[in-house]
């Protein structure tokens, strides 16, 4: 016996023409297995419709949704004012850390260079006594000239005295 399983699905969905419909119905009257399959599919279709049936939304649904959206927008706007100072603080902190690290490296490099120059100068001066004596004497001459010039610059002129 030929079972029209492909046509059972179309029969269930009312997609068959009149002639095919009568043929399937005639077959169902004599075939218990196809009738059981159709009953099973009808039960499954009923369960699916029950699960996925549309429910009527309450009358206040639209107003509730709009209030929720408005509340969320207010919360978002309320939190935004806090985000701007936080971002500014983070940027300033990042800049400070970067600039601080560069400053520390600069000072460290400068101190190493200064220590090397100081070592070189003291080493050189200790090896050459004549140079160290010349530096001391020339420093004293420059200091004396500076004191003399400063005294003359600070003395009141004749117009200021009188």
Question: pLDDT per residue over 132-145, tens digit each?
Answer: 778 888 999 999 99
Q: Looking at the structure, tell me whether residues 45 and 102 fall in a common domain.
A: no
Give the integer Cα–Cα distance in Å for 152 and 162. 18
Cut 0.75: pTM above it: no
Q: Looking at the structure, tell me whether residues 47 and 67 fall in a common domain.
A: no
Q: Looking at the structure, tell me whether residues 24 and 47 fall in a common domain.
A: yes
Give the integer Cα–Cα distance in Å for 96 and 89. 10
CB 35 within 8 A of CB 16: no
95, two tokens:
């800049």
The whole-angstrom distance between residue 80's C-alpha and the CA centroid of its chain comes to 15
The answer to whether residue 43 sits within a structural domain is yes
For position 19, what pLDDT does the model report?
A: 92
Question: pLDDT per residue over 65-124, tens digit each?
Answer: 888 888 777 666 556 667 777 888 888 888 888 888 888 888 888 899 989 988 887 777
State the residue range of the domain holding 111.
Answer: 61-128
Mean pLDDT across 150-161: 74
Q: Looking at the structure, tell me whether residues 69 and 11 fall in a common domain.
A: no
Q: Which residue has the tokens 């701007």?
A: 84
The answer to whether residue 96 sits within a structural domain is yes
Give the integer Cα–Cα distance in Å for 12 and 45. 9
The answer to whether residue 144 sits within a structural domain is no
Q: Which residue has the tokens 């309320």?
A: 78
């Amino acid at each position: 016996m030929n079972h029209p399983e492909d046509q059972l699905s179309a029969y269930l969905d009312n997609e068959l023409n009149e002639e095919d419909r009568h043929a399937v119905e005639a077959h169902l009257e004599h075939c218990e297995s196809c009738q059981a399959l159709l009953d099973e599919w009808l039960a499954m279709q009923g369960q699916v419709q029950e699960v996925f049936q549309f429910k009527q939304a309450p009358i206040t649904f639209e107003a509730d949704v709009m209030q929720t959206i408005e509340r969320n927008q207010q919360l978002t706007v309320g939190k935004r004012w806090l985000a701007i100072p936080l971002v500014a603080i983070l940027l300033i902190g990042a800049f400070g850390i970067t600039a601080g690290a560069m400053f520390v490296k600069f000072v460290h490099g400068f101190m190493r260079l200064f220590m090397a120059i100081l070592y070189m100068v003291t080493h050189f001066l200790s090896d050459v006594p004549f140079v160290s004596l010349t530096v001391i004497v020339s420093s004293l001459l420059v200091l004396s000239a500076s004191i003399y010039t400063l005294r003359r610059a600070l003395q009141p002129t004749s117009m200021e005295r009188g």
